[in-house]
Amino acid sequence: MIELAAELERSEHELADARELVVVDDAEMAAEATLEVASLEARIADLEVRLKPALLPHDPLDDRNAIIEIRAGTGGDEAALFAADLFRMYTRFIERAGWRRETISHSEGTLGGVKEAVFKVSGDGAFGAMRWESGVHRVQRVPATETQGRIHTSAATVAVLPEAEEVDVRIEDKDLRIDVFRSSGPGGQSVNTTDSAVRITHIPSGLVVSQQDQKSQLQNKLKAMVVLRARLLDLRVAELEAARSKMRKSQVGTGDRSAKIRTYNYPQSRITDHRIGYTTHDLPGVMDGNIQDIIDELKMADVEERLGG
């Protein structure tokens, strides 16, 4: 922050000097000064943009790994297909970022759709980037199953949770009810033959986590506990965000899962993020994982709002 501020001050002094040279009688010198003024103004604008986030305290959660949950919402098979599209979009983004994705649970729908996908993203700043994706994502398009060519509206929900460490959330054994049951669905010889699936209920909060993707009961329990800790930490963060949002104008950083945050309009190749009114017409690029520009806009809007509030 100090380095940016010092560079900004230097650039402002240089700009003042350059503006004085613009009005000199020497035409060649004045022309060079005019170019220098334009260059310095652009540099100052860039420095101001970079300095604003540095003025705010860093959220240590931003450095954490992320637990991401995608669920098909209203819209039947089309909602499951859209959930699969979101899963692919995030997978491509994660690959480009050089992060690692680890599947926790994956439930397929019909026609290649996804009913639910839960996965962990490991990498520097994973939660800090992905946290802006929490909420309801809405799609408007003609489904593959539609014979009349009518546009349907479907939705999928995305929850992004910071991975919790044991020191973040204290979970007492007496607060847990653990049930085991037989797995169902595809998955090999262990399915439907052993009670390897696990359902954990956190009694004080009412949170329930089920896990059946792993072959052993112990593996399923460990995976379920990872998700449970993340959800409990997320509850605490959400309470703090809700208290903070009462003093703010928008819902950019509140993590409100029930809020419709983005619409993907296929006929017009348009994506609109409703929290900040940001629109892009590069729908194919975004669905291929190019979401960094949207994330950057959301981050900056949050910074502007926090500085203004």
DSSP string, 154-177: EEEEEEEEEPPPTTTS---GGGEE
pTM: 0.73
Give the distance, in angstroms, between the CA of residue 182 and the centroid of all CA atoms in the same chain: 33
CATH class of the structural domain 61-165+251-308: alpha beta
Is the pLDDT score of 271 beyond 80?
A: yes
Record the tokens describing residue 194, joined without a space.
């052993």
The string of pLDDT tens digits covering residues 43-96 is: 888 888 777 767 777 778 889 999 999 999 887 889 999 999 999 999 999 999
107 vs 113, 144, 171, CA distance in Å? 9, 21, 27
User: What does the DSSP 8-state code read for residue 249?
Assistant: S
Q: With bands split at pLDDT 50, 70 and 90, how would you rate the model's confidence at 250?
A: very low
The one-letter amino acid code at 211 reads Q
Q: With bands split at pLDDT 50, 70 and 90, how would you rate the model's confidence at 257?
A: low
Higher-scoring residue by pLDDT: 102, 194: 102
Q: Which residues are CB-neighbours of 240 under 8 A, at least 6 positions away? A: none
User: What is the β-pairing status of strands 176-181 and 278-280?
Assistant: unpaired
Out of 19-23, 54-58, 168-172, 292-296, the most confident range is 292-296
3-state class (DSSP) for residue 195: coil
User: What is the β-pairing status of strands 66-72 and 176-181?
Assistant: unpaired
Looking at the DSSP assignment, which residues form a beta bridge with residue 198?
180, 211
- Model pLDDT, residue 53: 67
What's the CATH architecture for 173-239?
2-Layer Sandwich (3.30)
102, 62, 260, 49: CA torsion to nearest 10: -130
The one-letter amino acid code at 42 reads A
Is the pLDDT score of 203 beyond 60?
A: yes
Domain segments of the chain: what residues? 2-54, 61-165+251-308, 173-239
Is the pLDDT score of 262 beyond 80?
A: yes
Question: Tokens 């995608």 label which residue?
Answer: 70
User: What is the β-pairing status of strands 135-141 and 260-265?
Assistant: parallel
Other residues' Cβ atoms within 10 Å of the Cβ of residue 260: 13
